[in-house]
Structure 1
Amino acid sequence: MPSTLAERPTTSPENRASLPEDPGLRRRLLVAIALVAVLPFAFIYAFVFVTNTVLLPLLEWQGSGPYHGRVYVDPLFAVVVVAGGLALQAWKGPSIVLGSIGARRVDADEYPDLHARVTRLAKAADVEPPDVAVAHNDAPNAMAVQGPRGAAVVVTTGLLDALDERELEAVLAHEVSHLANDDATVMTVAWLLPTVTYYVATAAAYVLYGMARTMGHGGDGDGGDGAAKAILVLLVTAVVTLAVSAMFWAASVLVHRVLSRYREHAADRGAAAITGDPTALASALRKLDERMADVPDRDLRSLDGGAEALYVAPLEGRAFTDAELVSTDVFPATHPPTADRIDRLREIAGELE
């Protein structure tokens, strides 16, 4: 990005126009909310179905039966469980996310300039000023989380070190736009199901791997027909669990494919409207993209764990010295290409000239 972009003076957010209306984002939010509400029920009853049609008959064949009844989940009980789980996730989700990345809420005495910027930008976007949280991490990134108890804008110390004042203002405006657009609440809740199903599928895969190793070393022993049947039951259970979990992981990722990429473009547009300086965010995104490759693996992994879709910049796009990040496995392709975001911001800048 040319150096002149970083030298351009920032216009006061108080004098900016309000955030543009985005019917497309509203529609996607409604679809995402519907998926978040429906998929847990489908997940529960899919396991009920395979238990009754596959696992119980298999246990009876193995000699553990007969089972005269079948597994049944009362719909009202399912509603209570799912609604309670979603409410708990909405209530505790922001704190869980902050804890997972080592972020801590800070007061105005500790970070006065950061607090003042976030408060001013929130007022410009006509939203309640959120809490401010900081994660001591060299990876330059930021996110916004939101729940019934309030919202928080989170930044890393790497972000504060990497950006100049204009760029920092633009990134903070981007996160405030997520709060103003109400998509931060949906994303704070929506990361739970794909994360859970991912780990369930991973656990089932490890069971299958362990059984394969055991059988490969002659671990079935001399137990005869009973041992063989028991191994078959475990094998089928693991395969079914893996298949169902993988299916619902793929389905729940639809929430993020429906919403996550689009919401980043919407927040970029919102930041441009708040600050009147789209080139500052373009410069910041380019800088974050370039610096991510130099961040130590330990810092990237401390931001890992399923929160990928919440960040302003993706954690992907670099080669790791060992295994891939969980975030990029759980939420593949959560962000639009950085070059595309920069091009769109430049177009906005051209319209403002």
Structure 2
Amino acid sequence: MIAALGLIVLLPFVFVYTFLFLANTLGIALLEWATERPYHGEFYVDPIVLTVVVLAGLALQYRYGPRTALGSVGARVVSSDEYPDLHATLTRLAAQVDASKPDLAVVSSEVPNAFAVAGGSIRGLRGDDPGATGTVVVTTGLIERLEDDELEAVLAHELAHVKNRDANLMTVAWLLPTITYYLAIAAFYVLYGLYRLLGAGGGSSRSGNSDGRGLAVAIVVIVVCAVVTLAVSAMFWAASVLLYRVLSRHREYAADRAAAAITGSPAALASALETLDETMPELPDRDLRKLDGGTEALYVAPLEARAFGSKELVSTDIFPDTHPPTEDRIDRLRELARETDVPSEVARG
């Protein structure tokens, strides 16, 4: 966790200094060519200012990232009066691991899934525990489709994420992949827009040589800047996504084992995952898309891209393969069930 957090903090600095290096090499050469005069200065970023900006960005992501994720899927904090059984189960599980009880939120969706985020409030609303350090979210589809022991296992899985501070880490780790993704998209649309403009005759000039050169210079500068931005953003997107993917896959395995230890029934979580894996491809695209707020890596089970007949999910676009294969997770839990000699139909399967 410490090494991962260090990389999460380090990558934004490397990202900025990569752009700074390119600005002082390629950028200055481009500036001298465009102005036809030498440029004796250099671009500079104060390390203290950069540190403050990066840490502030991470802090803002930590503070508002959970609200954004929860708001994107329409999650609503619910009280113990609305869902007494779920609250009672979550309270008991939290007491077992000596953790503060997270807030409980529900998403009205037929898609059976769950996730957890850091922070205990959504749009200013709080659950029963004002000291909550996280929020566990379940869908109505999950509540309706799972048996009580399976639902308990899923809640234990999400509680493990909160207890182990996975939710905090993944919330912060979300920052750079998102920024680099949208920077790359913006650069692509600049190039595409320029291409369409020139293709429509917008680049023609009937003015003198000076105006013609000015237009050519502007086009070259825009293209070079856009291409460099696209290339660097794509490179750091790939690096940050790789880190995010490794973290996500590792935390899912760890949370599976923790849930099995908390509930004492690896078979229950295996059965729940099997139900989710079988159900997801059968659901209509529109139901799956309602949960597609870029929070793919947070779900207990991935929103399978194979179930989509048209476009890819935004989340699988930004964070591909963030979960281990569900079949592998089920096999590991079944093996764990056999090792602990838990008799069940799933363990014998």
- TM-score w.r.t. the length of structure 2 is 0.88
In 1, Cα distance between the equivalents of 2:45 and 2:340?
57
1:131 to partner: Cα distance: 0.4
Matched to 2:258, the amino acid is G
The count of residues paired between Structure 1 and Structure 2 equals 325
**Structure 2 contact 154–259 (Cα < 8 Å) conserved:** yes
Show the counterpart of 1:297. Answer: 285
Within 5 Å, give how 1:148-297 maps onto structure 2. Answer: 150-222=133-205, 224-297=212-285
Matched to 1:111, the amino acid is Y
Provide closer, same or farther for how the CA distance between residues 106 and 65 of structure 1 changes in structure 2, counting only shifts above 3 A.
Answer: farther
SS of 1:250's equivalent in the other structure is helix
Provide closer, same or farther for how the CA distance between residues 83 and 65 of structure 1 changes in structure 2, counting only shifts above 3 A.
Answer: farther
In 2, Cα distance between the equivalents of 1:329 and 1:197?
13
In 2, Cα distance between the equivalents of 1:69 and 1:157?
60
1:221 to partner: Cα distance: 1.1
1:36 to partner: Cα distance: 0.8
Show the counterpart of 2:10. Answer: 38
Show the counterpart of 2:22. Answer: 50
Show the counterpart of 2:116. Answer: 144
1:67 to partner: Cα distance: 4.7
In 2, Cα distance between the equivalents of 1:64 and 1:156?
62
Show the counterpart of 2:300. Answer: 312
The match for 2:93 among 104, 115, 121 is: 121
Show the counterpart of 1:325. Answer: 313
Show the counterpart of 1:70. Answer: 42
**Structure 2 contact 110–141 (Cα < 8 Å) conserved:** yes
1:109 to partner: Cα distance: 1.4
The match for 1:134 among 99, 106, 113 is: 106
1:309 to partner: Cα distance: 1.1
Matched to 2:332, the amino acid is R
Greater RCO, CA 8 A, separation 6+: 1
Show the counterpart of 2:346. Answer: none
The match for 1:338 among 310, 319, 326 is: 326
Matched to 2:162, the amino acid is L
Runs of 4+ in 1 over 4 A off after TM superposition: 64-68
SS of 2:106's equivalent in the other structure is strand
Are positions 1:105 and 2:77 aligned together?
Answer: yes
Matched to 1:283, the amino acid is S
In 1, Cα distance between the equivalents of 2:7 and 2:324?
21
1:163 to partner: Cα distance: 1.1
In 2, Cα distance between the equivalents of 1:300 and 1:159?
13
1:147 to partner: Cα distance: 4.0
SS of 1:154's equivalent in the other structure is strand
1:65 to partner: Cα distance: 6.8
**Structure 1 contact 118–172 (Cα < 8 Å) conserved:** yes
SS of 1:133's equivalent in the other structure is strand
Provide closer, same or farther for how the CA distance between residues 214 and 343 of structure 1 changes in structure 2, counting only shifts above 3 A.
Answer: same
User: Per-residue CA shift, 1:95-137, capped at 9, x if unaligned?
Assistant: 2221122112111112211111111111112211000111112
Show the counterpart of 1:11. Answer: none
**Structure 1 contact 183–263 (Cα < 8 Å) conserved:** yes
SS of 1:335's equivalent in the other structure is coil
**Structure 2 contact 149–268 (Cα < 8 Å) conserved:** yes
Show the counterpart of 1:81. Answer: 53
For structure 1, the residue ranges without an aligned partner over 5 or more in a row are: 1-28
Give the stretch that moved more between structures: 327-336 or 312-321. 312-321
Show the counterpart of 1:20. Answer: none
In 2, Cα distance between the equivalents of 1:181 and 1:153?
14
SS of 1:134's equivalent in the other structure is strand
1:68 to partner: Cα distance: 4.3
For structure 2, the residue ranges without an aligned partner over 5 or more in a row are: 121-131, 206-210, 342-349
Show the counterpart of 2:126. Answer: none
Output the aligned Cα RMSD: 1.8
Give the stretch that moved more between structures: 325-334 or 48-57. 48-57
In 2, Cα distance between the equivalents of 1:121 and 1:65?
70
